[in-house]
Structures are given as C-alpha cells and as structure tokens.
A = this chain, B = another copy of it.
Amino acid sequence: MKFPMIHVCYRVLDLEASEKFYIDAFGFEISRKKDFPDDFTLTYLQAPGLDFEIELTYNYGHEEPYTIGDGYSHLAVGVDDLEAAHARHREMGLEVTDLKGLAGGAPKFYFVTDPDGYKIEVVRN
C-alpha cells in the first residue's frame, strides 16, 4: 500500500493576495480550484511539472488572522541560483531573511514570509 505525499494545506485570510504571492515569488501555477459556497473555497498551486500541491483554504466570513503556533515550521523549495533568487525576492519587496548557512559554512538557504506569516525556506539545490 503506497501513500505518496500529494499536498500540504493551510488557511489564508486573503486568497487573492496569497495566490499572487506564490505565483509571483515562485512561479507556481494554479492547478485547480474548488468552491463550496458560503463555506470555504480551495485553490491548489504547484510548481510546473511537479505533482505536489499547496492547498490554500479560504473560509468565507473568517476575518481574524490565523494563528500559526510554534509547531508548524515551513514549506521548502529548492533553487539552483540561491543568490539570484534572494536578490529577486528582496527586489520584490518581500519579507526576506539574510542568506544563512549552518555552522559558519557557505550560504545555503533563506526564508521568505507569505502574506499570512507562513515561512517558505528557499534552499540551494
């Protein structure tokens, strides 16, 4: 019995802003949408050519920011040119950390924050 991972899901306050963030910052594409009127609506995004999706849940009528807690950490994406990606995300005006390495080593990753405060780690391939 096989259980491939297919998506990760989190709730967002402004669906349009979140869609735009993931499309503009990472080139993700909207693969499908499912709307359940008066209840919630779902937008699925994926990196072109990859089967794994982000499922963004927008709950109608929910107006308070969601709490992320201290358990969930982040979603990570890989990139070939880490420095170019970092410069591009900075130029876009996104909330971006400095480049980071482990134990004094070369830079290997940084974090970008999405509109709801979820962290996206960008890791050198």
Binding site for B on A (CB under 8 A): 1-11, 26-28, 36, 46-48, 50, 52, 54-55, 57, 66-81, 84-85, 88, 102-103, 116-118, 121-123
Contact = CB atoms under 8 A, between A and B. Distances in A.
B6 A78 contact: yes
Contacts of A48: 2
B11 A47 contact: no
Given A36-B102, A102-B36, A121-B9, A3 B71 contact: no
A11 B70 contact: yes
A78 B102 CA distance: 34
A119 to B, nearest CB: 9
Q: Which of A28, A52, A72, A78 gathers the greatest number of chain B CB atoms within 10 Å? A: A72
B50 A4 contact: yes
Nearest to A13: B71
Contact of A2 (B5, B27, B74, B102): B27
Q: Which of A3, A47, A76, A116 gathers the greatest number of chain B CB atoms within 10 Å? A: A3
